Structure 1
Amino acid sequence: MTTAPERTADLYPTRGATEVTTPRQDPVVWSDPGAAGPIRPADLSGFDRDGFLTVDQLITPDEVTSYRAELERLTADPAIRADERSIVEPKTQDIRSVFEVHRISEVFAQLVRDPRVVNRARQILGSDVYVHQSRINVKPGFGASGFYWHSDFETWHAEDGLPNMRTVSVSIALTENYATNGGLMIMPGSHRTFLGCAGSTPRDNYKHSLQMQGAGIPSDQALTDMSERHGIKLFTGAAGSATWFDCNCMHGSGDNITPYPRSNVFIVFNSMENAAVDPFAAPLPRPEYIGARAPFTPVK
């Protein structure tokens, strides 16, 4: 007689009848305090406290020029536009994001492997890492839409099956981030509480949510309470700067109605010890190009 495989415990329930909050069950920084790495102890402590870390210049101006040229090449390529990994703006039909960019482009694959990038991820997560998701975000001026408030982990847990908060993202600016062109906003300290959202996950939800979010959106009251408790930090910085942030940070960005574009490359590193299982609140996992699944190899 065979028995059914044991279900991985759900530490962070979400998408039920009502919103629920759960205290974080996992560390924020997984490495030992004295572990070697490019992040200074004081900055690592700040990441643990606030859920984010900024680097004024992660890549050089010459590198910015190279990566921006590659972004422009990809978004101008008709074959890339026709690829299912490209997401377009619902109103203008301009490209909004291109997923799995480290597999499409060797230029961005080299960035993923860059020690300045991957070694910070290893230090925060305390293990070897793989790329759970990568994309370029294109936010041209005059009307590019934003990303509403959300926790990435809520989606990655509900729809991709990541069991633990052992995932970190980096957003590397390829254009200037002004206070006016739809920059990233984070509620500092919000990563310490998981907000389980109300509602169910429609089948193939990703086909709609990547253009306009639906499932996994906090209520107005929950966002008001969290912003009163944590405040809101808006990130600005020159091209080449970067923001690292924990997977459970409540974050979002506004529309860009200025003439100044805001484009970035976004890489999600997951611990090799936090492999995806069956989704916790969705009928099926999202496609591989949105959330990588085993087998995978560590970034070297």
Structure 2
Amino acid sequence: MTAVDQSRATDRYPTRIASRGHRFVDRTEPTVWGEDTSAGMFGAQEFGKHIRDGFVQVPDLLTPAEVAGYHAELDRLATDPVVRADERTVIEKSSSEVRSVFEVHRVSEAIARLAADDRLAGRARQILGSEVYIHQSRINYKPGFSGGGFYWHSDFETWHAEDGMPAMRSVSVSIALTENYTHNGCLMIMPGSHKTFVPCGGITPADHYRESLREQEIGVPDQDSLTALASRHGIASLTGPAGSATFFDSNCMHGSSNNITPYSRSNIFIVFNSVENTLVEPFAAPAPRPTYIAARDFTPLS
């Protein structure tokens, strides 16, 4: 049996199950993998919160000058016709607005430097206890009046099912470049939900990513599961000024609502995966997603 076959045969998190009414699965991996949590930017208090809630916020990760520079870079990318025509750019389903630009650390040198910055990558190494590589990067635009939301989901469920990520050993960071209010589509997380894997119903169609990046329907929990999780954990609305950041576990149940306010919301989103958790074949999809969505270059980030 090959390594890939063995990994699939020992799948601890089966999902995309045809029938509804499936049970929750308790997480088997730790949330913080590093043994020495004192060497780095996160301290014991931050790690305690990350272990308990699955996320931790950093209020002033970027300076005001950096925020202005990255905001200008996002504006440049959104209006560049070459970027807009690129397959890595996702357009809103209900408008002509840019929704996301994937693999943005390869599109923008400025964002590539940010992703490798120790304020991001160093914290990711602390959490994951190993060298890391970028599994996914993107910028998310949520313009005023027309910014679409992201329905409740666990990123790990998608990365496991469609990308072949074996274990919950990855961490995401969302960096706000605009003020995050409760009313302009801020990130919402169910604190503590990272400890429970929620299998999803439905069979993954071929090339599912073409629709799911605009509006996900397969790979989202049923309403009974979401109600049970919300009753158990509650819902936290993660607000904060431009320049603030949220590091959150890959299995956090999270989402965001549509932005019907005049106040735009945009962020840079980087996913770090452990080099000891590299991708295999998808666990519940006919083929892997394109590498600009799920990288298969596992070179450690320098």
TM range (shorter): over 0.9
Aligned to 2:13: 12
2:184 match: secondary structure: coil
Aligned to 1:101: 104
Instruction: Give 1:32 deviation, angstroms.
Output: 1.0
Query: 1:67-100: CA deviations, max 9, x gaps?
Result: 0000000110001010000000011121000000
Instruction: Give 1:11 deviation, angstroms.
Output: 1.1
Structure 1 unaligned runs (5+)?
none
Change over 3 Å in CA distance of 1:14–1:260 after alignment to 2 = same
Aligned to 2:131: 128
Aligned to 1:117: 120
Q: Is the 8 A contact 1:33 1:41 kept in 2?
A: no
2:260 match: secondary structure: coil
Residues of 2 paired with 1:290 and 1:93: CA distance? 21
Aligned to 1:296: 298
2:219 match: secondary structure: coil
CA RMSD between the two structures: 1.0
Residues of 2 paired with 1:175 and 1:78: CA distance? 23
Q: Is the 8 A contact 2:132 2:301 kept in 1?
A: yes
Aligned to 1:156: 159
Q: Does 1:235 align with 2:238?
A: yes
Instruction: Give 1:34 deviation, angstroms.
Output: 4.2
Q: Is the 8 A contact 1:151 1:249 kept in 2?
A: yes
Change over 3 Å in CA distance of 1:25–1:80 after alignment to 2 = same
Residues of 2 paired with 1:193 and 1:251: CA distance? 13
Residues of 1 paired with 2:120 and 2:222: CA distance? 34
Residues of 2 paired with 1:222 and 1:269: CA distance? 27
1:47-86 map, 5 Å: 47-86=50-89
Q: Which letter maps to 2:153?
A: H
2:181 match: secondary structure: coil
Q: Which letter maps to 1:7?
A: Q
Instruction: Give 1:102 deviation, angstroms.
Output: 0.2
Q: Is the 8 A contact 1:171 1:242 kept in 2?
A: yes
* TM-score (normalizing by structure 1): 0.97
Once the two structures are aligned, what percentage of the paired residues are identical? 59
Change over 3 Å in CA distance of 1:94–1:44 after alignment to 2 = same
Q: Which letter maps to 1:270?
A: N
Residues of 2 paired with 1:296 and 1:224: CA distance? 37
Which deviates more from structure 2 when the two are superposed, residues 3-12 or residues 96-105?
A: 3-12
Query: 1:161-201: CA deviations, max 9, x gaps?
Result: 00000000000000010111000000000000000101110
Residues of 2 paired with 1:77 and 1:209: CA distance? 24
Structure 2 unaligned runs (5+)?
none
Q: Which letter maps to 1:297?
A: T
Residues of 1 paired with 2:293 and 2:95: CA distance? 23
Q: Does 1:211 align with 2:211?
A: no
Q: Does 1:182 align with 2:188?
A: no
Instruction: Give 1:20 deviation, angstroms.
Output: 3.2
1:213 match: secondary structure: coil
Q: Is the 8 A contact 1:175 1:263 kept in 2?
A: yes
Q: Is the 8 A contact 2:175 2:243 kept in 1?
A: yes
Aligned residues between the structures: 297
Instruction: Give 1:7 deviation, angstroms.
Output: 2.5
* TM-score (normalizing by structure 2): 0.96
Residues of 2 paired with 1:35 and 1:177: CA distance? 30
